[in-house]
Structure 1
Amino acid sequence: MPPPRNAARRASPPSRSEHARAPPFRFPAIGATLALVALSAAAALAQTARRIAIAPVLSQIDADSAQTVVWFYNHSHAPWQAEARLYRWQQHDNQDLLEPASDVALSPRLIDIPAGGRQLLRLRLGPVPASRENAYRLVVEERATPGDTALLRYSAPVFVQPERPATTPPLAARLAGDDARPVLLIHNAGNRHARIADLTFFDAQGRHHPIADSLAGYVLAGQSRQWRLLGVADAFRDGHFVARIDSQPERRLDLGD
């Protein structure tokens, strides 16, 4: 049986940094922490992106903490202005859903950083989740000024831990879809997110076939994500998948029913 072909890479590469309307935003599940919205020249946008930095790129807030902070750094020679919004992040049918968050306060919402300067953004929490982690996306959109040819849009994950978060999320993997178009479905039965990177399939002969290099995506607490596999389903039954979960070394993901 021929080995499966390598899966295509994600359209949005991972990077150091990723208004509201109803119904909530729906788009294919994302893993990148920086989304760049090009209004014209992509080269100009990439140049601007290198001059703006965010730290941390992922915020994880303990249950006993009341707030967290995010720093923005402007390494350019011109002022930088943006607007910050926070969205509740959920997953359904392999899509990320973003809805305006009402339980976390942002201050300030309007960001104005002089050339070579920095600015602090505070996130103040509401009630601590009792049993399951709350997930959010901090979205910061550059404000247009005369002469702009490209605008930045940062989207950074924010996680508020429950009182007793699991050390390692329990993950279950199985094949789904049909025989001709299989997908790998990973379910997270834990109470905190799983960050999945370097997702790879090893066939029965020990040959590896990358599914998603670097950051493959997040599986939120109690949710499922899936990845398209190039090949027929039978090609993936005699083998196993591996991935790096959070900051841990590679972990084997055996297929269940």
Structure 2
Amino acid sequence: MISMRFMAASLFACLIAGGAGAAALRVSPITLDLKASSPTGTVRVWEDGLRPVKVQVRVFRWTKVNGRDRLEPTTDVVASPPVTTLKPGTENSIRVVRVSKKPIVGTESYRLLIDQLPEAGRKTPGQVSVMIRHSIPVRFTD
């Protein structure tokens, strides 16, 4: 029990020490529930860190198979812009649009993935970089 506490405290200390200047990527809302009659939504993204951060945005169809999440590429829903750079202290809006003309029957579920991309040329030997990923549920109902 003591060794688990020690390991947890050590990990926390490493995260704090290595976090100076790290990205602090926030998103809102954390879920999108949209209607077929208004198939467009917006997610806001903020960068609260000290350096610019490059972000990639993708949409996947989301299903459950045997209790496990399954993400599949889709063209039924798009997000724009697909890639953006956020400067420290700034925010950006990401538009999510269902472009498919097929009628919605019940509910269609997707995941909007917002990934922090690694900084080119910022690798430091012996240092671990942690990239942030937000996975936001997006649902369209009839």
CA contact (8 A) 1:107 1:123 kept: yes
Correspondence for 1:119: 92
Looking at both structures, which has the greater relative contact order when contacts are Cα pairs under 8 Å and sequence separation is at least 6? 2
CA RMSD of aligned residues (A): 2.1
- Relative to structure 1, the CA distance from residue 48 to residue 154 in structure 2 (aligned partners, 3 Å threshold; closer, same or farther) is farther
Correspondence for 2:63: 90
CA contact (8 A) 2:22 2:50 kept: no
Match of 1:102 among 63, 75, 81: 75
- Superposed, 1:35-184 pairs within 5 Å as 42-43=15-16, 44=18, 48=22, 51-126=24-99, 127=101, 129-145=103-119, 146-147=122-123, 149-162=129-142
CA contact (8 A) 2:115 2:132 kept: yes
Shift of 1:130: 3.2
Correspondence for 2:8: none
If you compute each CA radius of gyration, which structure gives the higher value, 1 or 2? Answer: 1
CA contact (8 A) 1:42 1:150 kept: no
TM, length-normalised to structure 2: 0.75
Q: Which secondary structure state, in structure 1, belongs to the residue aligned with residue 55 of structure 2?
A: strand
Look up the equivalent residue of 1:115 and give its one-letter code. P
Which stretches in structure 2 are left out of the alignment for 5+ residues? 1-13
Q: Supply the distance in 2 between the matched residues of 1:62 and 1:128 (Cα, whole angstroms).
A: 14
Q: Supply the distance in 1 between the matched residues of 2:39 and 2:74 (Cα, whole angstroms).
A: 16
- Equivalent residue pairs, number: 120
Shift of 1:80: 1.3
Identity within the alignment, %: 22
- Relative to structure 1, the CA distance from residue 130 to residue 144 in structure 2 (aligned partners, 3 Å threshold; closer, same or farther) is closer
- Relative to structure 1, the CA distance from residue 64 to residue 128 in structure 2 (aligned partners, 3 Å threshold; closer, same or farther) is farther
Shift of 1:73: 0.8
- Larger helix proportion of the pair: 2
1:202-256 CA-to-partner distances (Å, cap 9, x unmatched) read xxxxxxxxxxxxxxxxxxxxxxxxxxxxxxxxxxxxxxxxxxxxxxxxxxxxxxx
Look up the equivalent residue of 1:149 and give its one-letter code. S
Shift of 1:154: 1.1
Shift of 1:151: 0.9
Look up the equivalent residue of 2:137 and give its one-letter code. P
TM, length-normalised to structure 1: 0.43
- Relative to structure 1, the CA distance from residue 154 to residue 66 in structure 2 (aligned partners, 3 Å threshold; closer, same or farther) is same
- Superposed, 1:227-242 pairs within 5 Å as none
Look up the equivalent residue of 2:75 and give its one-letter code. S
Which stretches in structure 1 are left out of the alignment for 5+ residues? 1-40, 163-257
CA contact (8 A) 1:129 1:161 kept: no
